[in-house]
A and B are shown apart, each in its own frame.
Chain A
Amino acid sequence: MDNTTFGLTMLLVGMGGTLLTLWILAILIGWLTRVCQPKSEGGSRE
C-alpha cells in the first residue's frame, strides 16, 4: 500500500472512527446517567 492511500485511510477511518465512537459514547453516557438517576428524581422529571 502506498503512503498516500495509507495516510488518507488513517485520516478518514481513524479520525472518523474516533469521532463516531466518542459520539456513541456520549449517547451511552447520557443514557447511563438517566438510567442511574434515583427514582424520586426520575419521577419529578416526568
Chain B
Amino acid sequence: MSEAILNALTALGAGARYFISPAGLPNLVMIGISLVMFWLAIRKDVEPLLLLPIGFGCLLANLPLSDVMDQEGFLRVMYDMGIENELFPLLIFVGIGSMTDFTPLLARPKMILFGAAGQLGIFLTLMVALALGFPKELAVSVASIGACDGPTVIYVSNLFAGLGKIDSSMVGALAVAAYSYMALVPIIQPPIMRLMTTEKERATKIPPMSNKVPKSALVFFPIVVVVLTGIIAPKGLPLMGAIMLGNFLKMSGVVTRLTKASENEIANVSTLFLGLAIGGTMDGHEFLRSQTLQVFALGLMAIIVDTVGGLLLGKIWYRLSGGKMNPLVGAAGISAYPMAARIVQVEGLKTNHQNHLLMHAMGANTGGQIGSVMAASIMLAILKGMGLI
C-alpha cells in the first residue's frame, strides 16, 4: 500500500523533477517567453489576436511531459488540420480580403508602385541571410518576413517545412517575428521616415484627387488581379486567390452573409487555431538556438529595408514630379494595413498641419498588400522554376 502511494506521488512529481533537471531548462525559458507574449498582447496591445494564442500554444507545448504535440495531441491535430496543408493562412487571407477596401488604390493606380518598392526588404534580406550561411529555403522564409504579412510568412515557411527543407520549429519563430514586427511598425518606421526625408519634402502637399471609383471597377478588380497572378506566378495563386476571393465577396455586394462570415467567424476561428498550432511548434529544445536570434534580427532588417525602399521611390518620385509627391507616402507601401498609412498621415501632419496624406497613403498601403503577396508569389514561381519546390 505504502509503495503504491509512493509510486503515485512520484508520478505526480515527475513534472517538477523534469523542470529542475537540465533537460527542462529550455522548456522553462520558453514558458518565460510565452509569458512575455502574454504581457505584450495584454499590456502593450501588440497583435493580441495572434500573440495570445501563440503564447498559449507555446505554454502548453513546453509544460513538462506535455503531449499536446504528440501524434494524437490536440495541438498536433490542429497543426495537421490547417498548418501542414497551409489552409489556415489562406482562410485568414480570405478574411483580410473581405476587410480591405481597394478604392484608394483604384483611384490612384500608380500608388501600387510603392507596393513594389516596399518589398525591397524581402530580396535584400534574402541576400544577407544567404551570406550568413542560411540554407536557401530558410533564407527565403526569413526574407518573407519583409512581406510584413503573417499569413504569407507562415504559408511560405510551412511549404518548406512540409517538404522537410526547414525545421518545423522555425515556422513558429518566423511567425512570432513577423507578427511582432508588424505590431512594431509604428515604432520602427517614424525614425526612418524622419531620417530619410527633409522637412520640406515631408511638408509637400499632394494635389487632391477624387476618390470616386466606379462600383463595377471594384468588382472586376479582384478578377483582374487573380488572372494576372495566375498567368505570371501560378504558384502563388492560393495566396492571391484567397485575398481576392474575400475582396470579391465584399465588392459584389450580394453575399453579405459570406462577407461577414469571412471577416468574423472564418478569420477568427482560423486565427485562433493557427496561433495555437504555431505556438505548439515552439518546443524549447528546437526553438532556442542562435539561428532563431538571427531570424529575429533579419526580420527586423527586412522591415527597415522595406521602409527605406518605399521612401527612396518616394524621393525619386518627388524629384521627377517637381515636388508634387510627398516621399512619406512611400513608407506606406508595405502590407501592414492600415497601420502604415496612418503613420504616414501622422508624420505628414507633424510637419504641416494642413497636410492630409491619408487617402494617398491608403492607396500605397493597399498596393503594399498586393505587392507583398505578389512578391511572395513570384519568389515561389522562381523557386518552382529552379526545382526547389
Which residues of A does B touch, CB under 8 Å? 1, 3-4, 6-11, 13-15, 17-19, 21-30, 32-33, 35-38
In the complex with contacts A11-B126, A18-B371, A3-B136 CB distance below 8 A = yes
B130–A4 touching, CB < 8 Å: yes
Q: In this complex, what residue of A is CB-closest to B217?
A: A36
Interchain Cβ contacts within 8 Å, total number: 113
B112–A25 touching, CB < 8 Å: yes
Complex partner residue of A22 from B131, B370, B379, CB under 8 angstroms = B370
| CA A24 to CA B213, docked complex, whole Å | 19
B15 → A minimal CB distance (Å): 44
Interface SS of chain B: helix, strand, loop or mixed? Answer: helix
The reply on B343 being an interface residue by CB < 8 A is: no
> Which one of B74-82, B219-227, B247-255 contacts A?
B219-227
Tell me which residues across on chain A come within 8 A of B375, comparing CB atoms.
Answer: 14-15, 18
A29–B123 touching, CB < 8 Å: no
| CA A24 to CA B360, docked complex, whole Å | 20
The reply on B378 being an interface residue by CB < 8 A is: yes
Q: In this complex, what residue of B is CB-closest to A32?
A: B217
A22–B378 touching, CB < 8 Å: no
| CA A18 to CA B213, docked complex, whole Å | 25
Complex partner residue of A17 from B117, B225, B378, CB under 8 angstroms = B378
14 A/B residue pairs, CB under 8 Å, sorted by A: A6-B386, A10-B379, A17-B382, A18-B374, A21-B229, A22-B116, A22-B367, A22-B371, A23-B116, A28-B224, A29-B112, A32-B221, A33-B107, A36-B214
